[in-house]
Amino acid sequence: MKKERYVAAIEISSSKIIAVVGKTRGAGQLDIIASEQEKNSESVRYGIIKNPEETSMRIARIIERLERKPSVAPREITGLFVGLSGRSLRSISTEVSINLPDDTEITEEIIERLKNQALSTAIDSSLEVVDAVPRVYVVGKMETASPKGTIGNSISATFDLIVCRPEIRKNLERTISDKIGVDVSGYVVTALSTAQVILTPEEKRLGCMLVDMGAETTTVSIYKEGHLVYFATLPLGGRHITNDVATLNFLEDKAEEIKISVGNAIARETASTLNMNGVKMQDVSNLIVARAEEIVVNVMEQITYAGLKESSLPRGLVMIGGGSKLNGMIELLEQHTGLPVRRGQLPSYISIEETKSPLSEMVEVASVLYSGAMNTETECLETPGNEDLPATGTGNEPTGTTPEKTEHRQKPKGPSLFGKLKEKLYGMVTGDVEDNSDII
């Protein structure tokens, strides 16, 4: 049985920053033992960090609070798996092949060569490739999802290249590694990791769509015959509905409150006669319904862009994200498609022992953490004192550390009593500490 490992992950979105610490167990089990988050608005737009300084301050506070928790202390967070998302993320399909001598047995090395060939495909210079996801392999003339060990004189495959603007990773690196001194243990495409843990094998085989509706973007992933066939990010989300309501002379916080409490994505049969501060609630309803309809129409249009029909997705849609919590949104999708729609939930092999956040807000970051933990042997936390180990190694080094690594990030000193008071007052004023509500 593998030794327990401590891992950590962070998801930075336009509405919030949330980080978690987890502990791996055998048989693919993961326990999330601590989580912290802060609201976010102006420093991140459409999933891209626009203000690394402000964002790094928020992340540093989150890490400090995580490290104070009894389930984490005295360990220090030295690495983070980082979720990749944002409006420029999408997929581009490419076909690659390698000719081989007769009766060649396909090895892991040959498969890796094929993937590297896909990764080096020439694309728009304004984009970079962050991953290559295979659909199906063809060895000789035989199609297979598992080519290793088969025999043939050629191997080819169609890969979905996941691409994005270089700014996304560059600013994440600048914010996390450069400003805070925490290593990026790995980048994980959030949409792929959520599909890995939320969608069932049957849903992927028969055909389904995963829709992650956030504050400023909505990510659509379509699966068919067991693999990804389409991936795109739309610049539409729950905050657009809030901003529409705000045009009726409401502050954004008040508009958000109204949207959550009385808003509905489906028009009521009877017009409302209520008003609030001189504003007709029917006008509010009209704005919410119009924008919700626009989002749904754009989501459904992705099926056409994927070269499919609604009948190609008999298992329907799976929805996650804060925007999906708007009253009537799931029902609106069902009306437009005639397909079943369910809300995505974390599977039983991911347990959450401690969180202040609703479980629905943990889906993305928990998926990123699980993907990073299961696909690597990385250890993201260290116990103070490890730096005293001899550089030559004694054979007793903790798993996940290297004997030659002796430098550690310079953590800011813990706040004084006055500093703690000031931080608390700041949190009460800004809502960063106590208010964990999210924009949907």
d(CA 241, CA 256): 9
Any idea which of 39-48, 198-207, 359-368, 377-386 has the lowest mean pLDDT? 39-48
Q: pLDDT: is 354 or 46 the higher one?
A: 46
Q: pLDDT: is 418 or 386 the higher one?
A: 386
Tokens standing for 220? 């659509």
Which pLDDT belongs to residue 313? 97
> Is the pLDDT at 68 greater than 60, yes or no?
yes
Q: Boundaries of CATH 3.30.1490.110 in the chain?
A: 90-164
Q: Boundaries of CATH 3.30.420.40 in the chain?
A: 6-87+168-192+348-430
Average pLDDT, the chain: 87
Q: How confident is the model at residue 278 (pLDDT cuts 50, 70, 90)?
A: confident
Residue range 90-164 in CATH 3.30.1490.110: yes
d(CA 235, CA 254): 23
d(CA 6, CA 30): 10
Any idea which of 75-79, 205-209, 274-278 has the lowest mean pLDDT? 274-278
Any idea which of 144-158, 362-376, 410-424 has the lowest mean pLDDT? 410-424
> Is the pLDDT at 176 greater than 80, yes or no?
yes
Which pLDDT belongs to residue 386? 53
Q: How confident is the model at residue 2 (pLDDT cuts 50, 70, 90)?
A: low
Which pLDDT belongs to residue 39? 87
Percent of the chain whose predicted confidence (pLDDT) is above 90: 74
Any idea which of 54-58, 240-244, 353-357, 436-440 has the lowest mean pLDDT? 436-440
> Is the pLDDT at 405 greater than 80, yes or no?
no
> Is the pLDDT at 31 greater than 60, yes or no?
yes
Overall CATH class of domain 6-87+168-192+348-430: alpha beta
Q: Please state whether 60 falls in left (phi above 0), alpha (psi between -120 and 50) or beta.
A: alpha
Whether 79 and 182 have beta carbons less than 8 Å apart is answered as yes
Condensed to tens digits (0 to 9), the pLDDT of residues 360-371 reads 889 999 999 999
Beta bridge partners of 44: 49
Q: How many Cβ atoms from other residues are within 10 Å of residue 395's Cβ?
A: 5
